[in-house]
Structure 1
């Protein structure tokens, strides 16, 4: 992990921007059901067509914003992964230049190619999967608990108890 973090360090801004776009995506995913519930509970049950239209437009705006954040986040994540992969491949190549002929023969050409291409590719995929699938989970959990408290405090405490 320290090795991967060492290669991520030069791209701090890109990491932060990628994470922020993922958080916007997660917030949008949680906000749509809340807007839908309000639309049904207040607009439909009260027969207020203007409220339904307002909530519908808000849902469209949230959907467009969350969709744009998803696309931008995926692009930034792929860009970050490609830059880290390039730096790792260069580091492996530079390290291989320091090997003596005997050391290089011990590893073998096929092994060196596999280390340079396949192993770094797996690390790149792991970075993408971690940013897009693992990191949003605590954010979704936290935002869900906050939204549950906004609706009903008992439900918020229940979610804290379940997730703790």
Structure 2
């Protein structure tokens, strides 16, 4: 469902997506080229005392950095514009479809769940698109390009990448596996908080009349505590991710400096090449971390997309007539003949073979005991197509 929604609602904004890819490509190429220029400054400028070479290469680096900044700004702008447009169109579609629902569909989903689906769930899909445009597009470019440029600087130290990248993937992957169930629970917990709060707001007079304030406070505290616990579990795991990444990153950096020092001592590597290799290793690990970070957003966005799709694919049970009556007399007549009504999943009908006529100018009283179906009968008329 996530792929279907993205294809459908991002199709009108394909020029923005092309702009994101182009500018992210420019930014990534600039990021990969800068460490090589820095290595040249160290090896050919500082080591030889060539001030002119340092100034000339530094000016080139400055121009590339300015171009990188401009490309990054434009990529984020186009990505944010596409993501916000997706969210706007998706919310509008959900709102229109809910507006077509009858009482049956609203009761099936529940008003709190429909509110969550049109707000929080749409936001999750929107955030996935935004982070994909700003992070995921550049991650494979930096990873592949970083490996190529690092091997170009020194082939012997490449074994550090072979060890560091799988270790980082394994560590972050284990954290994500534990985070996914918590994110799946969070959406239903948000529904529950909305449901309790909505019931309390709509029934505030009854709650006060029967002095049930304390009981309702306890209900809300339970729902709120469940959501808080789920969010805290996910937050603790998420907070653990960055120290793990920094640990792998710092250990890898120490390994590069340690073994690179022996390479420099043996004459097999220059100082600038070592600094460039370290920069490429950091870029590769950061790109891997960004890609795994997207794996955190994807499961939650997938769940949200499924919930949105359920609303959009549900057809209203009561549809507008082909030739609706747009002009009526000032007074009309309502008549039911052998009307029977049952709620979805109910064992028996609430109304059974009910017939009556409400004439204009006459008062019609609907009398019955509690649970007899008076409210059900009255609610039938606004949703009627006749």
Structure 2 residue matching 1:46: 3-state secondary structure: coil
Q: Which of 2, 8, 11 lines up with 1:9 in the alignment?
A: 11
- Cα distance in 2, alignment partners of residues 10 and 146 from structure 1: 36
Partner Cα separation in structure 2 for residue 8 and residue 50 of structure 1? 50
Corresponding residue for 1:55? 57
C-alpha separation between the residues in 2 aligned to 1:129 and 1:102?
A: 37
* In 1, Cα distance between equivalents of 2:16 and 2:152: 32
The structure with more radius of gyration: 2
Provide runs of 4+ in structure 1 moved above 6 Å. none
1:131 positional shift: 2.2
Q: Does 1:45 align with 2:23?
A: no
Unpaired runs of 5+ in structure 2?
Answer: 167-386
The gaps in structure 1 that reach 5 residues or longer are: none
CA-to-aligned-CA distance 1:37-94 (integer Å, 9 cap, x gap): 1111111112211110011101111111111111111111111100111111122122
> Which structure is higher in strand share?
2
Superposition deviation, residue 150 in structure 1: 4.8
What is residue 143 of structure 2 aligned with on the other side? 141
TM-score (normalised: structure 1): 0.86
Partner of 1:19: 21
Give the aligned partner of residue 126 of structure 2: 124
Specify which structure has the higher proportion of helix. 1
Aligned to 2:332: none
Residue of 75, 81, 84 corresponding to 2:86: 84
1:31 pairs, out of 15, 23, 33, with 33
Aligned to 2:68: 66
Aligned-pair distance for 1:119? 0.6
Q: Take 1:32 and 1:134, find their aligned partners in 2: how far apart are those partners? A: 21
Q: Is the 8 A contact 2:76 2:133 kept in 1?
A: no
Counting matched residue pairs gives 161
**Distance in 2 (alpha carbons) for counterparts of 1:8 and 1:139:** 23
Q: Which residue of 2 aligns with 1:111?
A: 113
Distance 2:42 2:78 in 1: 36
